[in-house]
Structure 1
Amino acid sequence: MKSIADAPHIFYEGDMIVLRSVITRQHKQVAHAQTYSLQQKQRIWVHCNFPEHPEWNFSTPLKPTLTPEPTIFPATGRILAVSDIEGNFEAFRDLLLAHEVIDTAYNWTFGNGRLVMNGDCFDRGPLVMECLWLLYALEEKAKQQGGYVHFILGNHEIMNMTGDLRYVHEKYLEQALILQKDYFSWFQPATELGRWLATKNVLEKIGPFLFVHGGIAPIINLLSYSLSAINRLCRPWYFTPVEAFPVQFAALYYLLYSSESPFWYRGYAMGHATARDVEETLRKFDVRRIIIGHTTTEKVTVFFDGRVIDIDTPHADGISEGVLIEGGQVFRVNKKGLRELLVKD
């Protein structure tokens, strides 16, 4: 029998914390639960085990508190940015190892560098939970070394948080039946990962770089919102399905649900945006380059003379790339350690 066991799913139920997981018992997949009081939170560790690759195993304690991320960060150290991992844990791990972000024991080895996940950890692949918990774990390890982990929300994060489950891997739907916990409930405010995702941003600025999953459509530029205002306005609505969204909030609809949303916009890579549109975004938000994902390319690709860089490559097909930003230069990198100069200031 092929195991569908996974990392535990952590629910807040009244004044208790319940770790629910699927385990194998007498050749059957069954639900297992562990219960803790809220006061015992600091005793809880999440264990991610890989039966076929035990050398990948890792564990992380729960964070004592969760707070919303800032929007704007200084340009310190190196930046490794990847996007659209979609549950492909091996590809993600290989990229981090190849560029010395971590070692094989998952220690942070990137110093004061920054790791950016530019959206879409969710859906399609079978190891979504492990990707999420690794980012969760590395956040604290990075801070201890002067580094930082940034997780920009993509459309698939928002889809899972609002109940749009079109692309969820069948493994998780099977788990939900065994656990008798609807998959939609896994990433809600009554869960640890739901609360953690709620602290993340729609977009962030690191030095002269703007990181956003899809892009900035011209209509978004017309709104009189700063980057920080966009994040502040969107955050309370992360868990609201589109059918329940108040129709009178037209600007928020564009930011969250429309094809012009920063999560969904494809204009840069699909040829719908103009150089003037891009320049207006750069000027408005005072950045030199925009790093996007969302629209898959066969390799990391630059548009508009290097002002836009698309880092969504088909990880599931073995083409795993990202960008490394160092000393004003931007390199295409892959999971084998390749470094190829793309643009420089």
Structure 2
Amino acid sequence: MMLSAARSFSALALRRARFPTQVTRYAPGQLAPLARRAVASPLCAASEAAAKGAATPAGGDQKAPYPPLKVTAPGRVVALGDVHGDIGQARRALTIAGVLGDGGDAVNPEWTGGNTVVVQVGDVLDRGDDEIAILILLQKLHKQAEAQGGAVYILNGNHEVLNVSGDFRYVTQGAFQESARFGEHLVNLFGSAFKEAFGGGEEDPRKRQVKARVGLFSPGGPLAQQLAMNSTVLIVNDTVFAHGGLMPRHVEFGLERLNNAVADWMRGAEIVSEEDRTALGMAIGSVKDSVVWNRTFGTENFVTDSDRDRACEVLGNTLDAISEKYGAAKRLVVGHTPQLGGCNGECDGRIWRIDVGMSFGVVGADPEVIEIDGDEVRVLNSRVPAKQASKL
């Protein structure tokens, strides 16, 4: 599917929700003042980097920075898979990783990771009730981590793409309610001028909830602009992260171009050039082989050895291409496809699959994460948390 910023995402969302009400489509930059102030609000507790990343109002000279492609981690790297709106399981995963302490609370979480870099590989949204709460939690932890030389990065997955596209098929009733509450919070903070954007004129609670979600997640909306700050592909030291997977053609085209195209689309920019449309399609379009939808390397058990060998060969070619263009790449870490046996590696450790289906909206599996420390990759879980693993 080729996505276009000209598409009426708001109307699409309402049709799928079976409501006839039309929602205003906001021009790029029209919601930007709200977005910029929202990410700096006490509720969002966004980092300084996030605040700088909010789009400039229409007519401004400054363009928001693009999300990073390559960063350096001074210490260990921790990666966790899809959390799908389950804040309880997300907190358990972060605790297992040794980066979330028990000295904080829901409002003020305690970062205990020092200079650890955390990468969450996407799909925070859908299937669970606490999506925005998880985004806020990760933002708060990122702000604390930055002060200690660490960081928390979130990738865009296919479910972030679905929501910015106006496809709410996997949104729970609780998540619609959370969207409405968050929209009301923004109206209370920033005035009634944005009341219509978040469903304030609707008497029907269900319609109000849907309109609030459309206002938040449509391209150019506050939370869409938050997601635009997230990478679609991220390289940390010699480890590459993507939600679904990467192919040699993605690398040849340019990974930074994929990141930038997704960011522009989420910010509400008009996607007009053939190059930008191609980049967007490679990143989020094709269900078969785009970055967020690809399952080439996600199969937990290949049917035949030849299937495995072919996948490992493509993976090797991909990592070789990345190494040649961007620097040494030893492994690829992906989510997207639930692994019923837990986090696992294959192809001589060059692929790691870390979506364990931890959300109770999926299978409610025990949380697991992986820890990358130099050349060592360890699986951490409730039986072997970070503090014990460091002694192995």
Q: TM-score range by the shorter chain?
A: 0.7 to 0.9
Q: Which residue of 2 aligns with 1:192?
A: 222
2-side partners of 1:214 and 1:103: how far apart?
A: 30
Aligned 8 A contact 2:121 2:243 in 1: yes
RMSD: 3.1
CA apart distance, 1:336: 4.7
Relative to total residues, which structure has the larger strand share, 1 or 2?
1
Work out the CA distance in 2 between the residues paired with 1:338 and 1:325. Answer: 14
Residue 261 of structure 1 aligns with an amino acid whose one-letter code is S
- Supply the AA of the counterpart residue of 1:281: T
1:214-243 per-residue CA deviation (whole Å, 9 max, x = no partner) reads 00135435xx32322321233212367xxx
Q: Which shows bigger deviation, 278-287 or 175-184?
A: 175-184
In the alignment, is the contact (CA less than 8 A) between 1:295 and 1:312 conserved in 2? yes
**CA pair 164-337 structure 1, distance change in 2 beyond 3 A:** same
Structure 2 runs not aligned, ≥5 long: 1-25, 54-64, 181-203, 324-328
Deviations 1:132-167 (A, max 9, x none): 111121221111111011111100111111111111
Counterpart check, 1:156 vs 2:186: no
Q: Who is 1:173 aligned against? A: 176
Are 1:78 and 2:76 an aligned pair? yes
Q: Output one character per residue of 1:164-188: Cα deviation in whole Å (capped at 9) or x when no partner.
A: 1111112233565534634222223
- Tell me if structure 2 keeps the 8 A contact 1:75–1:208: no
Give me the whole-angstrom Cα distance separating, in 2, the residues matched to 1:336 and 1:97. 12
Tell whether 2:113 aligns with 1:110: yes
Confirm or deny that 1:208 pairs with 2:238. yes
Distance in 2 (CA, whole Å) between partners of 1:61 and 1:331 is 30
Amino acid in structure 2 at the alignment position of 1:203: V
The 5 A counterparts of 1:288-327 are 288-298=330-340, 299-315=342-358, 316=360, 317-327=364-374
- C-alpha deviation, 1:100, in angstroms: 2.0
Q: With the length of structure 2 as denominator, give the TM-score of the two structures.
A: 0.67
> Pick from 138, 144, 154: which aligns with 1:141?
144
1:255, CA displacement in angstroms? 2.5
| Bigger share in helix | 2
Equivalenced residues, count: 295
Does the aligned pair in 2 maintain the 1:212–1:263 contact within 8 Å?
A: yes
Cα distance in 1 between the residues matched to 2:68 and 2:147? 18
Kept in 2: contact 1:162–1:238 (CA 8 A): no
Change (3 A) 1:122 1:253: same
Q: Percent identity?
A: 26
1:65 aligns with 2:52: yes
Q: Which amino acid aligns with 2:42?
A: W
Structure 2: which amino acid aligns with 1:86? H
Please list, as runs of the form range in 1=range in 2, the aligned pairs for 1:109-128 lying within 5 A after superposition.
109-128=112-131
The partner residue of 1:279 within 302, 305, 316 is 316
**Residues in 2 aligned to 1:292 and 1:61: alpha-carbon distance in whole angstroms:** 26
Higher relative contact order (CA closer than 8 Å, sequence separation 6+): 2
**Structure 1 residues not aligned, in runs of 5+:** 1-10, 19-36, 47-58
Q: In structure 1, what is the equivalent of residue 190 of structure 2?
A: none
Secondary structure of the residue aligned to 1:196 is: helix
